[in-house]
């Protein structure tokens, strides 16, 4: 049979078009693992000795969302913990098959009611981290991503960023100085029995989930738990929460009374009921924001990364890194290396932050991003303390704590410079 017959040419053209269409098809999968310790472990709200827990309110989770298009595949994972280092993250990456390690983003929700994942040492160098528990979390994170890969299915996307309304967050240091924008990405199944239903909904918002805090004897995902439950009940699929630029000190608005300049008069609702109120309100706002977004049938995706070096000038941070059982390694004398990621998901652009960036740092990076739908994933790939601009570093009495628990004066400056370089070197998101 001759290859140039009309029938064969038609078949060849059909196969070429089919292959091209398949390569451009976006596929998304999601999965969840419970990482609640049993029996319960002490909880950590930061530097210092973890506090005993005697009860739990909600479960702690690792939640994974995997994107695939052609040869591009990446994963986004949220972990219900104060922070999650690259030391632990890399252990999970080594157990994940089918995704390049640098394309796996692992971020902490920053709940202040979960076990110590830093291995904070006390004055004697002793730490209270449960390494067996952390190893189990490492495995569970990998299992969630590996399962999400097996669940990949053709998907459309909805993406939107808009201000979340209501009593959700405020800046404890200066009430109005925070980013009220909420970014939402929702993947929708386009084939099969689940056609038209949500595969996963990702919420990106800057807030400290510390309604309960570490001193109440309660282990909890804090406001993130009710947020997951509300979104999954209303939209279906898997809910994820990625924090933003919430440093210094963007926290949950639990104020009952207001004093001068809107500050709390020491009366706050630090209860599980308040976690439910704030979590469900944020979930409802996220769904309101995404419900008005158009469906994108063939959005393109992109993922890149780069390693950057950050000097460790803080004596407190050097002590923690040196004495933590996680065994952090310096790439140079008193210098740590961390990974930045940039993602384009349809018209949205996402940058990771390896710590708690202050709102002005977040605003600066967002306004230089090549999109009207900017996302910042805080505490992602690493969690190296607060990141404040050099003009703010040690400049106000209010910033004494965030200065002492920052790597140093140049941390945010280096981050902003490297983030902008990554933006400029990357293709712009497809806005159609």
Summarised one tens digit per residue, pLDDT across range 206-253 is 999 999 999 999 999 999 999 999 999 999 999 999 999 999 899 999
The answer as to whether 339 is a domain residue is yes
* Residue 61 to residue 32: CA distance in whole angstroms: 7
Domain that holds residue 419: 302-392+402-425
Pair type for strands 104-108 and 72-79: parallel
Give the model's pLDDT for residue 259.
Answer: 52
The answer as to whether 412 is a domain residue is yes
The answer as to whether 383 is a domain residue is yes
Give the model's pLDDT for residue 257.
Answer: 72
The answer as to whether 253 is a domain residue is no
* Number of domains into which the chain is organized: 1
Give the model's pLDDT for residue 1.
Answer: 45
Give the model's pLDDT for residue 426.
Answer: 97
The answer as to whether 247 is a domain residue is no
Give the model's pLDDT for residue 430.
Answer: 84
The answer as to whether 202 is a domain residue is no
DSSP collapsed to 3 states, the chain: CCCCCHHHHHHHHHHHHHHHHHHHCCEEEEEEEECCCCCCCCEECCCCCCECCCEECCCCEEEEEEEEECCEEEEEEEECCCCCCHHHHHHHHCCCCCCCHHHEEEEECCCCCECCCCCCECCCCCECCCHHHHHHHHHHHHHHHHHHHHCCEEEEEEEEEEECCCCCEEECCCCCCCCCEEEEEEEEECCCCCCCCEEEEEEEECCECCCCCCCCCEECCCCHHHHHHHHHHHHCCEEEEEECCCCCCEEECCECCECHHHCECCCECCCHHHHHHHHHHHHHHHHHHHHCCCCECCCCEEEEEEEEEEECCCHHHHHHHHHCCCCCCCCECCEEEEEEEEEEECCEEEEECCCEECHHHHHHHHHCCCCCCEEEECCECCCCEEECCCCCCCCCHHHHHHHHCECCCCHHHHHHHHHHHHHHHCCCCCCC
Which parts of the chain register pLDDT below 50?
Answer: 1, 14-22, 260-262, 264
User: Are the CB atoms for 340 and 381 separated by under 8 Å?
Assistant: yes
* Residue 292 to residue 99: CA distance in whole angstroms: 32
The answer as to whether 185 is a domain residue is no
The answer as to whether 313 is a domain residue is yes
Give the model's pLDDT for residue 15.
Answer: 46
């Amino acid at each position: 049979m001759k290859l140039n017959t009309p029938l064969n040419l038609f078949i060849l053209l059909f196969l070429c078009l089919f292959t091209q269409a398949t390569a451009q098809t976006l596929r998304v999968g999601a999965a969840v693992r419970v990482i609640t310790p049993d029996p319960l472990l002490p909880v950590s709200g930061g530097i210092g000795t973890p506090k005993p827990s005697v009860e739990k309110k909600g479960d702690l989770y690792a939640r994974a969302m995997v994107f695939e298009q052609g040869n591009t595949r990446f994963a986004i994972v949220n972990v219900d913990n104060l922070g999650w280092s690259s030391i632990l993250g890399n252990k999970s990456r080594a157990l994940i098959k089918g995704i390049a390690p640098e394309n796996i983003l692992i971020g902490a929700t920053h709940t202040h009611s979960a076990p110590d994942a830093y291995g904070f040492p006390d004055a004697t160098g002793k730490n209270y981290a449960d390494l067996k528990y952390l190893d189990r979390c490492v495995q569970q994170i990998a299992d969630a991503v590996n399962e999400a890969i097996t669940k990949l299915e053709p998907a459309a996307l909805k993406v939107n960023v808009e201000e979340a309304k209501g009593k959700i967050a405020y800046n404890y240091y200066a009430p109005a100085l925070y980013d009220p924008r909420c970014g939402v990405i929702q993947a929708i199944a386009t084939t099969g029995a689940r056609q038209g239903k949500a595969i996963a909904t990702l919420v990106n918002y800057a807030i400290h989930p510390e309604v309960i805090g570490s001193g109440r004897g309660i282990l909890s995902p804090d406001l993130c738990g009710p947020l997951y439950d509300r979104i999954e009940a209303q939209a279906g699929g898997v809910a994820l929460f990625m924090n933003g630029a919430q440093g210094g000190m963007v926290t949950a608005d639990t104020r009952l009374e207001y004093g001068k300049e809107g500050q709390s008069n020491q009366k706050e609702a630090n209860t599980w009921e308040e976690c439910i109120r704030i979590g469900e309100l944020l979930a409802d706002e996220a769904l309101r924001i995404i419900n008005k977004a158009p469906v994108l049938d063939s959005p393109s995706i992109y993922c890149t990364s780069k390693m950057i070096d950050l000097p460790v000038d803080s004596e407190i941070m050097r002590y923690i890194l040196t004495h933590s059982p996680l065994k952090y390694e310096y790439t140079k004398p008193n210098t740590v290396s961390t990974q930045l990621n940039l993602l384009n998901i349809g018209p949205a652009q996402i940058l990771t932050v390896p710590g708690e960036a202050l709102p002005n740092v977040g605003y600066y990076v967002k306004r230089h991003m090549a999109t009207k739908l900017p996302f910042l994933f805080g505490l992602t790939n690493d969690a190296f303390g607060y990141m404040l601009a050099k003009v703010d570093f040690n400049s106000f009495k209010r910033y004494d704590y965030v200065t002492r628990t920052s790597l140093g004066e140049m941390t945010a400056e280096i981050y902003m410079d490297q983030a902008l370089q990554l933006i400029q070197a990357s293709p712009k998101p497809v806005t159609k």
